[in-house]
C-alpha cells in the first residue's frame, strides 16, 4: 500500500464528529508496538527444529490438547532445550556477524593491535549472552512451538486457535471491547 503525505490527506468527520482521514486506509485507534523475533527463534524456525520437535511431541502425546488452554510446561521446555542441544544446533546473530566484520576491518586498516583486547572481550560477551538465548527467548520460542504443535494436531485451525489467544492486537481488541467507556471514548469526537 502506498502512503500519502499528511498534507495530501483530506479530513472527514463521522456522525459522532470523530475526525478520520482519507489516503491510506484506517489508522489503528490503539497502536501496538511491533515485536521482532530473536535470532535464536528465527534460527530454530528456519532449521526446522521446532517443526521436528512438534512432530516428536505429538507422537509422544497422541491426545489432542485443548488449544485454548494449551501451554508448554517448564518441564517440556527443558526437554526441548536438551533435544535442541543434541541436534548440534548452531546459529549466528547479527551482532556476532557485525563483530566479525569489525575485527576484519580493524585488521585491514591496521587498528587491530590497538583494540584487539576490547574486540575479544566484546566477542566473549556476545558468546556468553548467546549461550543464554534459549532461556532469554523462552516465551516466544514456547509460543511458536505451541502453534507448531497445534498445527500438527489440527492443521491451520489448531494453529489459529492457539495463536488467537496470544496475539497482542486481538488481546487489546478484546480488552477494549470489554471496556465500554474506553470503547465509547475512541468512537466519539476527539
Look at residue 50 and tell me if it is in a domain: yes
Average of pLDDT values for 129-150?
Answer: 92
Who's near 39: CB < 8 A, 6+ residues apart?
A: 91, 92, 93, 94, 133
pLDDT at residue 1 greater than cutoff 50: no
Q: Is residue 32 part of a domain?
A: no
Q: Is the pLDDT of residue 8 over 90?
A: no
Q: Is 138 domain-assigned?
A: yes
With a pLDDT cut of 90, the percent of the chain lying above it is 43
Residue 140 pLDDT > 80, yes or no? yes
78: pLDDT strictly greater than 60: yes
Q: How confident is the model at residue 2, as a pLDDT? A: 47
Residue 69 resides in a domain:
yes
In a domain, 1, yes or no: no
CA nearest to 136, candidates 38, 36, 35: 38
* 3 state SS of 105: helix
Do residues 34 and 21 lie in contact, with contact meaning Cβ atoms separated by under 8 Å?
no
Round the CA-based radius of gyration of the chain to a whole number and report it: 24
Give me the mean pLDDT over the 118-141 stretch.
91
Question: What pLDDT does residue 21 have?
Answer: 72
pLDDT digits (tens, 9 = 90+) for 11-62: 777 777 777 777 666 666 667 676 788 999 999 999 999 999 999 999 999 9
pLDDT at residue number 74: 97
Q: Is the pLDDT of residue 156 over 50?
A: yes
Residues of 65-102 as b/e, b for ≥16 C-beta within 10 angstroms? Answer: eebeebebeeebbebbeeebeeeeeeeebeebeebeeb
Domain assignment of residue 112, given as a range: 6-23+39-187
Stretch 79-89: mean pLDDT, rounded?
95
Whether 29 maps to a domain, the answer reads no
Residues 109-123 pLDDT 10s:
998 899 999 999 998
pTM: 0.63
Angle at which helices 39-47 and 49-60 cross, to 10°:
70
* DSSP H or E stretch at residue 13: strand 11-13
* DSSP classification of residue 20: E
The pLDDT assigned to 184 comes to 73
Instruction: Answer yes or no: is pLDDT of 155 > 90.
Output: no
Going from the C-alpha of 152 to that of each of 16, 28, 66, 71, the distances in angstroms are: 47, 33, 14, 15
* CB-based burial label for 177 (10 Å; 0-12, 13-18, 19+): exposed
- Check residue 39 and give its pLDDT: 92
What's the DSSP call for residue 6?
G
Percent of the chain with pLDDT strictly greater than 70: 75
User: Is 34 inside any structural domain?
Assistant: no
Total of domains in the chain: 1
On whether residue 31 sits in a domain, the answer given is no
Amino acid at each position: 500500500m502506498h502512503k500519502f503525505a499528511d498534507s495530501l490527506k483530506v479530513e472527514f468527520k463521522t456522525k459522532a464528529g470523530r475526525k478520520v482521514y482519507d489516503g491510506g486506509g484506517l489508522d489503528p485507534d490503539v497502536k501496538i508496538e511491533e515485536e521482532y523475533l530473536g535470532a535464536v527463534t528465527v534460527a530454530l524456525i528456519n532449521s526446522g527444529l521446532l517443526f521436528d520437535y512438534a512432530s516428536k511431541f505429538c507422537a509422544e502425546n497422541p491426545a489432542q490438547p485443548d488449544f485454548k488452554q494449551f501451554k508448554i510446561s517448564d518441564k517440556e521446555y527443558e526437554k526441548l532445550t536438551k533435544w535442541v542441544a543434541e541436534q548440534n544446533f548452531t546459529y549466528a546473530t547479527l551482532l556476532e556477524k557485525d563483530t566479525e566484520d569489525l575485527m576484519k576491518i580493524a585488521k585491514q586498516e591496521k587498528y587491530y593491535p590497538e583494540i584487539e583486547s576490547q574486540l575479544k572481550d566484546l566477542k566473549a560477551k556476545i558468546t556468553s549472552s548467546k549461550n543464554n538465548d534459549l532461556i532469554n527467548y523462552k516465551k516466544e520460542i514456547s509460543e511458536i512451538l505451541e502453534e507448531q504443535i497445534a498445527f500438527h494436531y489440527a492443521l491451520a485451525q489448531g494453529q489459529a486457535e492457539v495463536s488467537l489467544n496470544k496475539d497482542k492486537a486481538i488481546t487489546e481488541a478484546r480488552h477494549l471491547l470489554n471496556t465500554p467507556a474506553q470503547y465509547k471514548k475512541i468512537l466519539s469526537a476527539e
